[in-house]
Structure 1
C-alpha cells in the first residue's frame, strides 16, 4: 500500500478530539466485551484490517472467545452464540454503519428500547459512531497493521 498522511502528526488536535471520545467511551456502562463486539463488527463491514486486528486482540485479552469473534460476521446465522442483547447491538451496529441503506430501523430501535435504558442506547450509538470514524480514518490513510 502507498504511504499516506498520518493525521495524528498533521492534525494532532483532530486526534485529541477522537481520544476524548475514547476517554468518554472507557467510562460508560456498556460492558467492554460488548464494545469490542461493536468495534469488530463495524470494522468488518468497513473492511478496516487495522481496526479488526486491534479489536479482535483487545477482545481476546478481555476474555472473548475465538469462536464468537469468528462468528461475528455471521451472527444472524449463529444466534445461539450471542445473547439477545448482543444480537440487538449487532443489528444496531450494522444498520448504523450501513446508514445509507435505511438507517436504524424502527424494529431494531424498539427492541433496543426493550433491552436497554435510553442512556445505554445513547452510549451504544456513540460506540458505533466512534468506531466508524476510526475506520474511515484508518482506511483512507492506509494505516498499517503493526
Structure 2
C-alpha cells in the first residue's frame, strides 16, 4: 500500500512488523526497560512525555508517538500542548522556559545536525537545570531515540497501547 508524503513523494507503507526482537534479544529489551524505568523515575511525567513526543516526531516513529501522546494525556498534558509540539518554538506562552530548553535539547540530540549539540543549546538548558537535573533529560532523550529506532526498524504499528500498560516493542 502507498501513500503520499508531505514532500510529494510516494512512500510505501507495510502494515506488519519485521521481527519480534523483544523475544530474540530479551537481554537488550530488559536493558532498555531498565533505562526507561530510571528516566521515568527521575523526570516530571509531563515534561518526559513532551520530550518523547518531540523525539518521536523527528524520528517518524508512529508507534512511539501513539504511546507518548497517551502518556502525556495521562500525565495531565492538554491536547493543545501536545498538538503544538511540532511547532514548539512558535506559540509564545504555551511552554515554560524549562520545557522550551528541554525541547530544544531533545531536537539537538535527536538530529545531531553538526555532529554535536550546539553550545548555545547546551548553555540554555544548563542555565535552567542543575547538573544532576540536566543528566536526566539527556538520558531520557538517548533512551527514547533508542526506542524509536527499534520501532522504526521493526515497523511497529501504532495502536493497542494503553497508558501505564507494560510496553512490548
Q: TM-score range by the shorter chain?
A: over 0.9
1:20-43 residue CA offsets vs partner (Å, 9 max, x unmatched): 101211221x21100000000000
User: In 2, Cα distance between the equivalents of 1:105 and 1:122?
Assistant: 16
Instruction: Indicate the SS of the match to 1:26.
Output: helix
User: In 2, Cα distance between the equivalents of 1:77 and 1:14?
Assistant: 38
| 1:50-129 matches, cutoff 5 A | 50-129=63-142
TM-score (norm: length of structure 1): 0.95
| Match for residue 138 of structure 1 among 133, 144, 151 | 151
- The gaps in structure 1 that reach 5 residues or longer are none
User: In 2, Cα distance between the equivalents of 1:56 and 1:78?
Assistant: 19
- The gaps in structure 2 that reach 5 residues or longer are 1-13, 161-169
Structure-2 change in CA distance of 1:42 and 1:13 (3 Å): same
Counterpart of 2:39 in structure 1 is 25
User: In 2, Cα distance between the equivalents of 1:45 and 1:129?
Assistant: 13
Larger Rg, first or second structure (1 or 2): 2
TM-score (norm: length of structure 2): 0.82
CA contact (8 A) 1:96 1:128 kept: yes
